[in-house]
Structure 1
């Protein structure tokens, strides 16, 4: 069992970086989705105001 620990310790930084990469990409995609939704709502509101004017 003691022969495995150096390999596990060597893989921990890579796993950590992979996890951080996943979190960053997930938040970027979610932020983009929310921004597109907000922009489409704003455009709909602007079109509605233009029709009422």
Structure 2
């Protein structure tokens, strides 16, 4: 019976490792996308604020 559980553990290990690797990759992709979108939104808001101030000064 000991051999059965050891074989079962060795059978499941690659699946668990690949699952964790996949999860880490997807997590990092989603985090980087979220960070990029936040940065882009902040830069866009700054540019809009600059244009708004410039328009106000010209009128």
Q: Say yes or no: TM over 0.5.
A: yes
Alignment TM-score, normalising by the size of structure 2: 0.81
Q: Which structure features the higher share of helix residues?
A: 2
Alignment TM-score, normalising by the size of structure 1: 0.89
Question: Runs of 4+ in structure 1 displaced over 4 angstroms?
Answer: none
State how far apart, in whole Å, the 1-side matches of 2:3 and 2:17 are.
22
Structure 2 residue runs of 5 or longer lacking an equivalent are: 55-59
Q: CA RMSD in A?
A: 0.9
Structure 1 residue runs of 5 or longer lacking an equivalent are: none
Determine which structure has more spread, i.e. the larger CA radius of gyration: 2
State how far apart, in whole Å, the 2-side matches of 1:38 and 1:30 are.
12
Superposition map of 1:13-52 within 5 A: 13-52=14-53
Paired residue total: 53
